[in-house]
Amino acid sequence: MKEVLLKVRNLSKTFRSDKGILKALDDVSFDVCKGETLGVVGESGCGKTTLGRCVVGLLKPDHGTIVFSDASKHKQIIFQDPYNSVDPYWTVEKIVCETCNDRKKAVKLLKEVGLTEDEKDSFPHELSGGQLQRVGIARALGGDPDFIVCDEPVSALDVSYQSKIISLLEDLQQENDLTYLFISHDLAVVRHIADRIMIMYKGQIMEIGETSQVVNKPAHPYTRFLLSAVPAPFGEKKQFDIRDDEVVSEGCPFAPRCPYRKDVCLKNRRMLKEIYEGHMAACYNINTDGGQ
Amino acid sequence: MSNILTIENLNVTYRTLAGRRHVLQDVSLSLASGQIRAIVGESGCGKSTLVNTIISLLPDNAEIESGSIMIDGRETVGLTGERLRKMRLEKLGVVFQDPFSALDPSYTIEKQILESIRISRKVSMKDVEMEIRELLRSCGLRNPEEILKKYPHELSGGQQQRIMIAMALLNKPSLLIADEPTTALDVTVQKEILRLLKSLAKKNDLAVLFVTHSLDVAAEIADRIAVFYGGRVVEEGRVEEIFSFPLHPYTQALLKTIPSIEYGKNERKLMPIEGELFSFLNEEEGCCFAPRCPYASERCFKESPKYRESHGHGFACMLEEVL
């Protein structure tokens, strides 16, 4: 059994707006083990960014607990948009010093993430998106973390930079024994980097398990719907058609669109149930071979 | 099948502080009705300039040096004023990347759609109401009556993009240009929009030029793909050929950088392309990809490769000659 680094239990967060109350996180519980990458996937508005921010303490949850193991040191976060997450008037060196407070170390970190010493005096607008995201990563490393929330770190980048940043994150993880909570809307990226994957919809966890299990034997209809939408060059693409009924669901948030909906789905929320070792899904119609 | 769009040897330059910059070099493309052609490339490869050239939206410091763009058999390079307006109105539909910035936030959808109809026809909402509703329905919007009364911010990203597509089709154009129409959308919505565009192209015998930075999305929607790099078409062919037998080193490299849903952690190493993205600001002699190309030889830095084609699959590389 692997050592658990982070325990999240019954986490809830609501936002109030003039349109009413939005449940960004609705009773979310999961563990993250030391040294692993947990991928969090879902459409916009599913609560994945709120989750990341709660975990590093940028947002205060309404209910629930977030507990790091005693051995855990520091936590850091890498943001989606490298341009908007740094101060445009600061040099690269100063940005990295914000977390480590040590200029020598800052230069060392910049080298570690693939920048040259000449670039330490550059300002953010002089760098490309890929380079700037490396600065964001160096800043996160400056806090000497063992746990990093990566909030869509490659979504804003061009494809040829994406793979460089992904490879860098992979290398850093091995060298420094890092644990990642990797948030992304791109299933292919998460499939590539994550050991385990967590599928979220409207603030709830729909499915969680080992990446290969979830991708190859998806149990929840929403996971199957998401997978069917991933653009893939050729090959057998599984069609998955959903409906779009105007019904109110007090149970499963996906029920209005689910083709397998039963009456009970609209009334009661199904909590996560284990299907296979460590592979859990929140659905009333699951049989273990992945079919419905 | 007749060619709706024919671009021949198009050269576009920008005047910059650093001098003249060649942003499109010898671009040739053709597109028949009912066909979907994807233009794939990373930031700064010239794909937006191509779109802006076709719809005559180039900035003041740009100049079309040579080449021709024929839309539906009519030359459009050099058109101005009333004739340009007429050509755009009759032949072209454009869908932009970000529907929310393309729609006017202070008008209802009804008013915006009516405005674009009134440019060509003097009608009232009553006359065209049925037509508009039908069009919105064909673009996958199920309750057009309600949607017409709404403002853009009251609609989801997917709905906004459907409105944009509907508006692009109002005057029954023969060519639809879609400039990264799904980049701002979720994967699930993206799939629906791609499906919609495909069925519209088939139903209305529409030629679609689909610009994207994602090879996967291109493969999903297009019949043929043109890969852009440094303002040039570096490779062009059917989707299957591009994916199974990529000939240009850039296309080969690009395919190796994309994570795939087929492979999990540690099953496949991504191979990033070395070096920085092409920039027009430091223009050099020779092949535009040479500085990043693993096979580049001395000759590649001196000569520009010729575009060669056989069996409908073309590429611009001297690799075979060099080896």
DSSP letter for each residue of B255-309: HHHS--TT--TTTS---PPPSPPP-GGG--SS-TTGGG-TT--HHHHHSPPPEEE
- In angstroms, the separation between the Cα of residue A164 and the nearest Cα of chain B is 5
Q: Is the pLDDT of residue A46 over 80?
A: yes
pLDDT at B4: 93
Q: Mean pLDDT for chain A? A: 90
pLDDT band at A287 (very low <50, low <70, confident <90, very high): low
Cβ distance A213 to A276 under 8 Å?
Answer: yes
Rounded CA gap, B224 and B221, in Å?
A: 9
Q: Which residues contact B309 (CB under 8 A, 6 or more apart)?
A: B236, B315
Q: Residues in chain B whose beta carbon is closer than 8 A to a beta carbon of chain A?
A: 42-43, 142, 186-191, 194, 213-217, 219-220, 239-240, 243, 253-254, 257-265, 268-273, 276-277
Cβ distance A25 to A54 under 8 Å?
Answer: yes
pLDDT band at A75 (very low <50, low <70, confident <90, very high): very high
Q: Which of B210, B201, B151, B200 is nearest to B179 (CA)?
A: B210
Strands (E), chain A: 4-17, 20-33, 37-41, 63-68, 74-78, 145-151, 179-184, 196-201, 204-210, 273-276, 279-281
Q: Is the pLDDT of residue A34 over 60?
A: yes
What tens digit of pLDDT does each residue of B144-197 get?
999 999 999 999 999 999 999 999 998 889 999 999 999 888 888 999 999 999
- In angstroms, the separation between the Cα of residue A170 and the nearest Cα of chain B is 10
Residues of B in contact with A231 (CB under 8 A): 187, 190-191, 194, 214, 216-217, 219-220
Q: Is the pLDDT of residue A209 over 90?
A: yes
Return the higher-pLDDT residue of A240 and A252: A252
Highest mean pLDDT among A47-61, A259-273, B263-277: A47-61
* Chain centroid offset of residue B304 CA: 25
Return the higher-pLDDT residue of B277 and A214: A214
- With b for 16 or more beta-carbon neighbours within 10 A and e for fewer, the B95-121 pattern comes to bbbbbeebbeeeebbbebbbeebeeee
Q: Which two structure tokens, joined as six digits, stand for A70?
A: 């005693």
pTM of the entire predicted model: 0.89
The nearest alpha carbon in chain B to A222 belongs to: B188
DSSP, residue by residue, A71-116: T--EEEEE-S-TTTTS-TTS-HHHHHHHHH--HHHHHHHHHHTT--
Rounded CA gap, B91 and B71, in Å?
A: 7
Domain boundaries along the sequence of chain A: 4-198
Provide φ and ψ at A10, rounded to 5°: 50, 45
Q: Residues in chain A whose beta carbon is closer than 8 A to a beta carbon of chain B?
A: 37, 43-44, 128, 158-164, 166-167, 185-189, 191-195, 211-212, 215, 225-235, 244
- Cβ–Cβ of A191/B214 closer than 8 Å? no
Domain boundaries along the sequence of chain B: 3-106+151-322
Rounded CA gap, B227 and B229, in Å?
A: 7
How many other C-beta atoms lie within 10 A of the C-beta of residue A177?
10
Q: Is the pLDDT of residue A228 over 60?
A: yes
What tens digit of pLDDT does each residue of A117-171 get?
888 899 999 888 889 999 999 999 999 999 999 999 998 888 888 999 999 999 9
Q: What is the CATH number of domain A4-198?
A: 3.40.50.300
pLDDT at A292: 46
Q: Which residues contact A250 (CB under 8 A, 6 or more apart)?
A: A266, A267, A268, A269
How many other C-beta atoms lie within 10 A of the C-beta of residue B61?
11
Q: Is the pLDDT of residue A290 over 50?
A: no
Q: Residue A50: what residue type?
A: T
Q: Which two structure tokens, joined as six digits, stand for B292?
A: 């990043």
pLDDT at A233: 73
Rounded CA gap, B181 and B191, in Å?
A: 11
Residue A158, SS3? Answer: coil
pLDDT band at A37 (very low <50, low <70, confident <90, very high): very high
Q: Is the pLDDT of residue A235 over 70?
A: no
Token pair 């003097």: residue? B122
Cβ distance B259 to B247 under 8 Å?
Answer: no
Q: CATH assignment of B3-106+151-322, given 3.40.50.300, 3.40.710.10, 3.40.50.1980, 3.40.50.720?
A: 3.40.50.300
- Cβ–Cβ of A185/B191 closer than 8 Å? no
pLDDT at B322: 46
Asked whether this complex has an ipTM greater than 0.90, the answer is no
Q: pLDDT exceeding 90 applies to what percent of chain B? A: 56
- Mutation target among A134, A159, A173 for the B interface, most CBs of B within 10 A: A159
Rounded CA gap, B140 and B194, in Å?
A: 12
* Mean per-residue pLDDT pooled into runs of 10, chain B (323 residues): 89 88 92 94 90 92 93 89 89 90 93 87 83 91 92 92 93 93 88 92 94 92 94 94 93 90 86 83 82 89 89 87 49
